[in-house]
Structure 1
Amino acid sequence: MSDPQRLQLLRSINEAADAELLRSLRDHANDRMASKRSELPIDQFYTELNEAYDAMIRRAISLAEAHMARVGMGFPPVPYAYLLFGSGGRCEQTLSSDQDSGLVYEDEPDVEKAEANRNYFAKLSRQVVLVLERLGFPRCEGNVLSDNPAWSMSLSSWNKQLDEWFEHPAWESVRYLLIVADGRCVYGDSLLLDRMQDHFFANMGKHPIIIGRMLENTMRHKVLVGIFGQLLKERYGEDTGSIDMKYGAYIPMVNAIRLMAIQQEIRNTSTLERMKALQKAGVLSDEDARSYSEAFLLFLQLRLMTTEKQEMGMYANNGKLAVRTLTRDTIEQLKRGLRIGKRLQRRVFKQASVRLR
């Protein structure tokens, strides 16, 4: 890391005294990264952006801990891990990603102390989410947030919840399991997440039927390319003529690679790192890994061309890309990438279906 501006930004984030200063640094970071969008290789762009966001989230948690101490709640009573899910868990956040988070903390055998710990982490999580909102990170629309008691629990409670989801794999339960599979520790004791993952994969072995349920969820979003190779665009409303880069290109590849990784008990969460691990394991050939990675990098790049805006102080984006803004060459690259994504979906469906027989 030889970029002095990058180093200074991270240093300033780590030393920010309050949420107001941290918000100004978020705005500065977004402006800086937006200006570098055409200069950096796309994987390097995402590395730097997510590096800055991780630093902001860690600092927000530190500020929240300090707030808890000031109001008489003290410091964390037991070790805990603050978790990122979604694009944050995969290190694939864009300039306008929302919050997807959770929290796991060490068990306490004493009932009264356990209740006090639950109360402490509920209040800490609420403060963290509030600080991140002030930084312009919107709440997750699906309420996958650390201030939701369903996503903030002791390790034993988390393991019981995982057991319940595996034993009763309704659609929402399976969706939650796939969300957990993207979990990454951004702050605190990462061993707690490791132990959660141990429990997750132990359950995978006990419930082979879960692969079929995960496949149904994985195939929910289809790659938006027609049988003749044409782009499937939005037909109505203000986004007419646009393509949904998030749910019609990016998410289908994320979902497909994630399911392949889960089947191999690969714990990497980044989609590109999962591809490398699948290649190393011999699941993907060198050629397949190369073509999938190239298509995915293109989708990451085109996601950055969707319209960024601020709504009530929050960074926002609907993920739609106006095709008319693309050059003919880029449109052809997009069509090729989508065909590769569709081929990947067919492969995952076939392999998972064979395994279920």
Structure 2
Amino acid sequence: MIDPMRPHRLQQISSADNVERLRWLRDQLHEEMYALLPTQPVEEFNEQLNETHDALIIRAIMLAEEEMARMGKGPPPVPYSYLLFGSGGRREQTLSSDQDSGLIYRDLPGREEETKLYFLELSKHIVGNLVAAGYPPCEGNVLSENPDWCQSLQEWRERLGRWFREPEWEAVRYLLIIADGRCVYGDTGLADSLKSMFFSDMLNHPVILKRMIENTMRHKVLVNVFGQLLKERYGEDAGSLDIKYGAYIPMVNSIRLLAIQSNIASTSTLERIKMLVESGKLSREDGDAYEQAFICILHLRLLTTEQNEDQLYAGNGKIHSSKLTKEMADELKKSLKQGKRLQKAVYKQTMGRLM
């Protein structure tokens, strides 16, 4: 089903001339897309939603560039790439996703400090614009305004090297974040260079897989050995199902690790499954089963409770079990069994490579 408002919405976003207008459009997006959710196939809805999120983010970046020019800072001194990580990088944002971002800029010998200060200031405006538009900042401070995530290509090369040489827990987490990164605006070649460095270093440091599998297996699927759904037992979320961390993240993590081992640079989970099948790393039967399970989980994640906190869109990734029909609950159980099977297969394959 084609959303008739899609071209009009994108045109409105691209012509927004201030952040207030962008915020109004963001609110309209929330209402319109939420109304479409029950009527559209999940894949189509996800594609349209993330296309619109991208458009909002791109316009926020362009407005920030204009702000810098008005302040007398001039245009960007060198080409740069604005990166999205997390669900944004995977094109799996919900109606209430937060900001996870980074920035890469080309090296400018002799003007390193001046260039860095420019992009840090630009990033501060970008992050501020997106907060004003309703996107809360990443709680882990994975943001382009953080100097650790706003660096020249050479600085990124050195940082990746350190993370691979010293695979502590945080370093491995950062490497997995990089694996999900994609360019949403600017010079895509810079993002491609970062990914090339990532996969080259992976080949040179196979022991990193042991650390990555530990991270990947950290979140357990929310179904017990008897096939029953594991609900939250205490607090305000009692009776709820943690769709994000008990269903969605385990599948995302497992498919991502298979993709990393297969040198697949795509970031979308569904695209990764498709490419794993095409490359022979997954059978067609397994690929179809995992794809259907992930689509079910993606749908439920889009339905999770939305909360408007301090004028920012946020969601806890949980849905109360009473909101699931018997059919939905049965489908979720089947999907979670596939998720658990996937986790076991990934663990076995990865550990086999390390022996």
Normalised TM-score (structure 1): 0.98
1:333 to 331, 334, 338: 331
Task: Give runs of aligned pairs for residues 218-237 of structure 1, distance below 5 A.
Answer: 218-237=216-235
- Looking at structure 2, the residues matched to 316 and 62 of structure 1 have their Cα atoms a distance apart, in angstroms, of 24
- Looking at structure 2, the residues matched to 40 and 216 of structure 1 have their Cα atoms a distance apart, in angstroms, of 37
1:200 to 187, 193, 198: 198
Could you list the runs of 5+ residues in structure 2 that have no partner in the other structure? none
Aligned match of 1:21: 21
Cα deviation for residue 30 of structure 1 reads: 1.1
Aligned match of 2:131: 133
- Looking at structure 1, the residues matched to 49 and 325 of structure 2 have their Cα atoms a distance apart, in angstroms, of 26
Which letter does structure 2 place at the counterpart of 1:241?
Answer: G
Aligned match of 1:173: 171
- Looking at structure 2, the residues matched to 260 and 84 of structure 1 have their Cα atoms a distance apart, in angstroms, of 21
The question of 1:90 aligning with 2:111 is answered no
Aligned match of 2:56: 56
Aligned match of 1:6: 6
Give the ranges of 4+ consecutive aligned residues of structure 1 lying more than 3 Å apart after TM superposition.
Answer: 1-4
- Looking at structure 1, the residues matched to 2 and 88 of structure 2 have their Cα atoms a distance apart, in angstroms, of 25
Aligned match of 2:350: 352
Aligned match of 1:99: 99
- Looking at structure 1, the residues matched to 310 and 206 of structure 2 have their Cα atoms a distance apart, in angstroms, of 45
Task: Give runs of aligned pairs for residues 205-284 of structure 1, distance below 5 A.
Answer: 205-284=203-282
- Looking at structure 2, the residues matched to 356 and 324 of structure 1 have their Cα atoms a distance apart, in angstroms, of 44
Which letter does structure 2 place at the counterpart of 1:208?
Answer: P
Cα deviation for residue 3 of structure 1 reads: 4.7
- Looking at structure 2, the residues matched to 150 and 128 of structure 1 have their Cα atoms a distance apart, in angstroms, of 16
Matched residue SS, 1:309: strand
Matched residue SS, 2:303: coil
Matched residue SS, 1:138: coil
Could you list the runs of 5+ residues in structure 1 that have no partner in the other structure? none
Aligned match of 2:44: 44
- Looking at structure 1, the residues matched to 227 and 3 of structure 2 have their Cα atoms a distance apart, in angstroms, of 42
Which letter does structure 2 place at the counterpart of 1:262?
Answer: I
- Looking at structure 1, the residues matched to 84 and 185 of structure 2 have their Cα atoms a distance apart, in angstroms, of 9
- Looking at structure 2, the residues matched to 250 and 263 of structure 1 have their Cα atoms a distance apart, in angstroms, of 20
Matched residue SS, 2:5: helix
Cα deviation for residue 243 of structure 1 reads: 1.0
Cα deviation for residue 237 of structure 1 reads: 0.4
Matched residue SS, 1:350: helix
- Looking at structure 2, the residues matched to 22 and 317 of structure 1 have their Cα atoms a distance apart, in angstroms, of 21
What count of residue pairs does the alignment treat as equivalent?
355
Q: Deviations along 1:136-166, whole A, 9 cap, x unmatched?
A: 1000000000000000000000010000000
Cα deviation for residue 68 of structure 1 reads: 0.2
Task: Give runs of aligned pairs for residues 106-125 of structure 1, distance below 5 A.
Answer: 106-110=106-110, 113-125=111-123
Q: Deviations along 1:163-211, whole A, 9 cap, x unmatched?
A: 0000000000000000000000000000001111111111001101001
Cα deviation for residue 4 of structure 1 reads: 4.3
Matched residue SS, 1:316: strand
Which letter does structure 1 place at the counterpart of 2:74?
Answer: G
Q: Deviations along 1:314-343, whole A, 9 cap, x unmatched?
A: 001111111111111111111111010000
2:161 to 151, 160, 163: 163
- Looking at structure 1, the residues matched to 215 and 352 of structure 2 have their Cα atoms a distance apart, in angstroms, of 17
Q: Percent identity?
A: 57
- Looking at structure 1, the residues matched to 217 and 72 of structure 2 have their Cα atoms a distance apart, in angstroms, of 49
Aligned match of 1:304: 302
